[in-house]
Structure 1
Amino acid sequence: MDATDGPPVIKLGEQDEIAGLALSTEAHWNQTEEDWRIFLRDGVVFGIRDGARLVATAALLPYSGNNAWISMVLVSGTHRRRGLATRLVDACMETARKSGLTSWLDATPDGAKVYGPLGFTPTLQLRRLKLVNPAPSSAPAPSAATIEALCARDRRAGGFDRTALLTAFAQRPGSRIVAANGCIALVRDGRTARHIGPLFADHAADALALVGAIAASETSPLLIDAVASQSQFLDGLTASGWTIERPFQRMRFGPATNAAKETPFAVAGPEFG
């Protein structure tokens, strides 16, 4: 199929958040309506419709320092294997190229096989883990921390500024930023599970202790996207009842930007980096 065949690629607006949520829900992803609102308000979301129905999407979310994240590449089960995802990712890449942006994404293993030949370079490997039944306890909850402290640590780790994104997360009902022993993490709601991340720490043992304290003060299922190279942290999570759901490969298209000064223990999510 030629790129010009089939229904056109269009830009979506904030009025499309419910239709986007329907696609991510169909795929059993954890995004909320508020997540979609971030992409539609602060980024560029491309879509393809079949009549009035939205059947495929891809988003480009810009960050500082000429960086952008490609995510929300979704195709309804009724419209797969028609090249729709390729057309939408091409639209994201072309938009990034015209703006001089380095593009990043977190790919599934199958996705990495597609993005590699396009010129994406592998960087971090991630592992998504889930804790289905946190065990609440009477142990003291971790201390609250400030958004300024979280954003400062995030800039060190990512090399670019995501203050707007992290502030939007932190201001949602149910969100909290917690810290202990030099560690800091954000906890927020998802559609089916609460999400921990980003999480920064100086030592794996302290990161594990903070995750344990978070889990002990939660009642809903939890997700965390751990950095695979933090092997002691990853092993500690699985030993304490977390199960690995799937891997992701972080990839970059374009020149390297500001060098990261530390490696996070967990990220904000494959859709946000």
Structure 2
Amino acid sequence: MDATDGPPILKLGVEDAIAGLVLSTEAHWNQTEEDWRIFLHDGIVFGIRDGMRLVATAALLPYSGNNAWISMVLVSGTHRRRGLATRLVDACLETARKNGLTSWLDATPDGVAVYGPLGFTPTLQLRRLRLVRPARADAPPSSSASIAALRARDRRATGFDRTALLSAFAQRFGSRIVSASGAIALVRDGRTARHIGPLLADNAAAALAMVDTIAHSETGPLLLDAVASQAAFLEGLTTSGWTIERPFQRMRFGPATAAAEETPFAVAGPEFG
């Protein structure tokens, strides 16, 4: 099939948030309607419809310093193996190229085999972990840390200014920013589990203590996307009952435009970086 054949690629709007949520729910992903609204409001989301039904998406979310995140590459089970994902990722890359943006993404092992030949370069590796908690919790830790403190620490770890994203997370019902002993983390709702991240800390012990404090104040399952090179942190999590679900490979298309001053212990999520 020629690249121009097939159903047209459309730019989606905020009114498509529920349709996007249907796709990510089918894939058993953890995104909420609010997550979709971030992509649709602050980024560019490409989609393909079959009649009125949205069957495939890919999003390009811009950050500072001429960087952008590619994510939400989803195809309904009824429409896979038709090249739709490739067409949509190509649309994201072409948009990034026209705007002089370096593109980033977090790929599954299958995705690495697709994105590598396109010219993406591997950077750090992630591990998605899950913790299932009993329905009992201690008093929640204080949410005394400010969004400004989280934003500043996040910028040192990523090289990006993500004020809009982090503020959107922090303003949600149930979100909290927790800080103690050189560690700071954001906790927010997901569709099926609460998510911890980003998590920044002076050392692995402080990061593990922060996760333990958060875990003992929650009643439901938790997700966390740990940086694999933080070996002591990762080992501490698995020893304390966290289970590794899947790996992700962070990849970059284009020149590095930002230098990180520290390595995070956990990221905001593979869809956000």
Q: Which TM bucket (shorter chain)? A: over 0.9
Displacement of 1:144 in angstroms is 2.5
SS for the counterpart of 1:145 is coil
Displacement of 1:138 in angstroms is 3.9
CA RMSD after TM alignment: 1.1
Residue pair 2:170, 2:188 contacting (<8 A) in 1 also: yes
Offset from partner CA, 1:213-241 (integer Å, 9 cap, x none): 00000011000000000000000000000
Tell whether 2:65 aligns with 1:79: no
Counting matched residue pairs gives 273
Aligned to 2:116: 116
Matches within 5 A, 1:10-29: 10-29=10-29
SS for the counterpart of 1:117 is coil
| Cα distance change of structure 1 residues 134 and 55 upon mapping to structure 2, 3 Å threshold | same
Residue pair 1:56, 1:73 contacting (<8 A) in 2 also: yes
Residue pair 1:131, 1:242 contacting (<8 A) in 2 also: yes
Offset from partner CA, 1:129-180 (integer Å, 9 cap, x none): 0001257454772552110000000010110100000000000000000011
Could you list the runs of 5+ residues in structure 1 that have no partner in the other structure? none
Residue pair 1:183, 1:206 contacting (<8 A) in 2 also: yes
Cα distance in structure 2, aligned partners of 1:234 and 1:136: 25
Cα distance in structure 2, aligned partners of 1:70 and 1:139: 38
TM-score computed with the length of structure 2 as normaliser: 0.98
| Cα distance change of structure 1 residues 6 and 217 upon mapping to structure 2, 3 Å threshold | same
Residue pair 2:104, 2:250 contacting (<8 A) in 1 also: yes
| Cα distance change of structure 1 residues 136 and 159 upon mapping to structure 2, 3 Å threshold | same
Cα distance in structure 1, aligned partners of 2:193 and 2:157: 25
Could you list the runs of 5+ residues in structure 2 that have no partner in the other structure? none
Residue pair 2:137, 2:218 contacting (<8 A) in 1 also: no
| Cα distance change of structure 1 residues 41 and 55 upon mapping to structure 2, 3 Å threshold | same
| Partner AA of 1:78 in structure 2 | T
Aligned to 2:144: 144
SS for the counterpart of 1:144 is coil
Moved over 6 A (4+): none
Aligned to 1:271: 271
Cα distance in structure 2, aligned partners of 1:239 and 1:78: 40
Task: Tell me which moved more, 2-11 or 82-91.
Answer: 2-11
Tell whether 2:5 aligns with 1:5: yes
| Cα distance change of structure 1 residues 137 and 19 upon mapping to structure 2, 3 Å threshold | closer
